[in-house]
Homo-oligomer: A and B are copies of this chain.
Amino acid sequence: MVYFTYEIVRLLANHPHFGITMMTADRKAGRSIGSVFPHLMAQDLPAMVAIKDADFSDVDAVFCCLPHGTTQEIIKSLPKQLKIVDLSADFRLRNIDEYEEWYGLPHKAPELQKEAVYGLTEVSRDQIRNARLVANPGCYPTSIQLPLVPLIKAGLIELRNIIIDAKSGVSGAGRGAKEANLYTEISEGLHSYGITKHRHVPEIEQGLSDASHSKVTVSFTPHLMPMSRGMQSTIYVEMAPGVTIDDLYQKLLSTYEDEEFVRLLEKGAIPHTRHVRGSNYCFMNVFQDRIPGRAIIISVIDNLVKGASGQALQNLNLMLGFPENIGLNYQPLFP
């Protein structure tokens, strides 16, 4: 069970048009959501049912929060009229071979893969509107593509040597009982993990390659932070010849000035992960590096909201014809 599952439940509690008709579970089938997540006990929700007992006759749309590798077959079996936002990684990579290489599993629904739309909302809004199946982006790829895609599309940064030092709260690892994620193992310290091998790499490279129409290889090193929520990507890039930091700033400004959830801060202001906690915002900014010709790009999100459930709801709003911000007016919780 992963934390973003019930993060969707939290968000839906404020949605004026969507209601939760059914929640499925595996070992916890039969239980109330409040018994598994007491912070949701005040909501009046149906008990969880086993997926084999699920009745979809009264359902318009599904958020699919299953582990990668199990999702492809299940989605294949769902009624065709359902709108689906899949929060797993199972439909994010268009290249089936790449999926099999990074996840070590054969892809079980290649025909569905062709139909799936990658759900980075601000980048692919129009395709999402018309999609039946949206592959919701990973948290790291969201925080990285939002600033980089428009800069790459405009040819403002070099494609070589894009170096991403990313930092994430531990909620991204889910609720599985692992020694490495105990309080005592995480608190008051930090470490890198998954160096060169993190499974978000092909997703990031797919997005940047699409933007540049060429093959991009990135350096991506994630770090586990002593905190539950929050994610920062600090991105070190070379600017294209003649490009200035102000060009980068203006490009991001023109791209996002009318967006509700992506915010370019005032010049010089430094984004903090704590300032977006619990909300669907992405805050970003760009800085001139000390080395001439280089720039530092910082973006922060809440990994469970804009990095997962919030963006999923934003996408479903679009898929069902609603304004994308409906139900997403949770302001950041600070401190």
Interface residues of A, Cβ cutoff 8 Å to B: 3, 10, 13-14, 37-43, 160-161, 163, 165, 167, 169-171, 175-179, 181-193, 195-196, 201, 217-221, 223, 225-230, 232, 234, 236, 260, 263, 265, 269-279, 281, 283, 287-291, 294, 296, 298, 300, 329-335
Contacts and interface: CB of A to CB of B under 8 A. Distances in A.
Nearest to A165: B165
A13 B281 CA distance: 15
A289 B331 CA distance: 38
User: Within the oligomer, what is the number of copies of this chain?
Assistant: 4
Contacts of A191: 232, 270-274, 300
Contact of A227 (B189, B220, B332): B189
A187 B14 contact: no
Contact of A278 (B223, B234, B333): B333
Given A232-B190, A272-B190, A332 B39 contact: yes
A225 B228 contact: no
Contacts of A296: 192, 195-196, 219, 221
B42 A281 contact: yes
Q: Is the interface of A mostly helix, strand, loop or mixed?
A: loop
Given A161-B294, A170-B184, 9 more contacts: A14-B329, A14-B330, A161-B161, A176-B179, A182-B183, A190-B225, A190-B227, A191-B274, A192-B270
**Can you list the 4 inter-chain pairs with the closest CB atoms, starting with the nearest?**
A189-B274, A184-B335, A165-B165, A39-B332
A43 B288 CA distance: 28
B223 A161 contact: no
A10 B333 CA distance: 8
Contacts of A226: 183, 225-227
A196 B283 CA distance: 20
A41 B262 CA distance: 12
A187 B228 contact: yes
Contact of A236 (B196, B219, B289): B219
Given A37-B334, A163-B163, A278 B275 contact: no
A219 B277 contact: no
A241 to B, nearest CB: 16
Contacts of A331: 10, 13-14, 39-40, 42-43
Given A163-B163, A183-B228, A39 B219 contact: no
A186 B186 CA distance: 11
Contacts of A234: 165, 192, 221, 223
A33 B37 CA distance: 34
A291 B190 contact: no
Interface centre among A161, A175, A230, A290, by most chain B C-beta atoms within 10 angstroms, is A290
A200 to B, nearest CB: 12
Given A225-B226, A272-B38, A183 B170 contact: yes
Contacts of A217: 290-291
22 contacts: A10-B331, A38-B265, A40-B331, A42-B281, A43-B331, A161-B161, A177-B177, A184-B228, A185-B274, A187-B187, A187-B335, A189-B230, A189-B277, A190-B272, A190-B273, A192-B296, A195-B287, A196-B289, A217-B290, A219-B290, A220-B290, A225-B225
